[in-house]
Amino acid sequence: MEVSSLSKMVALLVLLLATFTTLSLGQSNRGGGGGTRVGFYSSTCPSVESIVQSAVQSAVQANPTIAPGLLRMFFHDCFVNGCDASILIEGASTEKTAGPNSLLRGFEVIDAAKSQLETACPGVVSCADIVALAARDSVVQTGGRSWQVPLGRRDGLVSQASDTANLPAFNDPISIQITKFADKGLNTQDLVTLVGGHTIGTAACLFISVRLYNFNNTNGPDPDINQAFLPQLRALCPNGGDGLRRVALDTGSVNSFDSSFYENLRNGRGVIESDAKLWSDRRTQRYVQGFLGQAGSRFNAEFGRAMVKMGNVEVKIGTQGEIRRVCTATN
């Protein structure tokens, strides 16, 4: 082969490789997950995990309801424009003011951790990474298994209440739930696993009452509710009663991170409609079955895996975001 022909082939191969690499990097950044890694702050802020862990531990010991609040916060943040701490921004018509986020709690824990981190290593740790770590630590504080959290997210610059419309709702049919998760790159197994976060925490009666008294405009209860469980729920949420009264999502185990949530679903003791449907629909039931009985020990490991996957949804890296000085406002 002539030298000139060989040179042209080499040049063409280099060009193709460069093009492929550029496309791959672009896809990685858009798809989420490009840029985050375990140990991201090992040299720039080695105390980050211990500082966040201490803040979460103190808060949960003082008030156990903070743990599910921090877990929900991470979920609600990642589902709206990715895991970028946009849920923390305060102001008119921000995500924080939207109906689905109105009952979230634990914001003060994120602020406390951020304040300490700004003293220890100013301008280094993003609020988005603090939210991700706090979610993991809230699980650990309630008896769940730890997992390694990839870090390196940047904080988002936009927060709009209108963007929360895609958050999964308490009465979404399974088909809608599957679609909403798929839109974030999460499959049906991820859906069933992540909803298992309801093993800790409570729901307000206003999200339950329709199931108890006028399901699908029938003037009766949801037939999927265990008949022995129905009077118990009605006693907690009387018709016309206080809509803000709280009810455990995992009856008998409200503060323990375990697989009993799925046992309750199988037994017709799911509290909110969207949870209960996980057992009555064949597309999700098989994954619920995978967490029952002795197989329940798999739940902790699968939950950590799914949290890492969700934590890489549409993350912002490099110049796509910033490191906020305070978590409640952009710089």
Q: What is the pLDDT of residue 170?
A: 93
Residue 179, pLDDT > 80, answer yes
Residue 70, pLDDT > 60, answer yes
Residue 34 pLDDT grade (very low, low, confident, very high; cuts 50, 70, 90)? low
Q: What is the pTM of this model?
A: 0.88
Enumerate domains of the chain plus CATH numbers. Answer: 48-167+311-320 (1.10.520.10), 174-307 (1.10.420.10)
Residue 51, classified by CB atoms within 10 Å of its CB into exposed (0-12), middle (13-18) or buried (19+), is: buried
Among the listed residues 52, 71, 76, 156, the single catalytic one is 76
List, for residues 116-169, the tens digit of each pLDDT value: 999 999 999 999 999 999 999 999 999 999 999 999 999 999 999 999 999 999
Residue 325, pLDDT > 90, answer yes
Active site residue 76: yes
DSSP 293: G
Residue 53, pLDDT > 50, answer yes
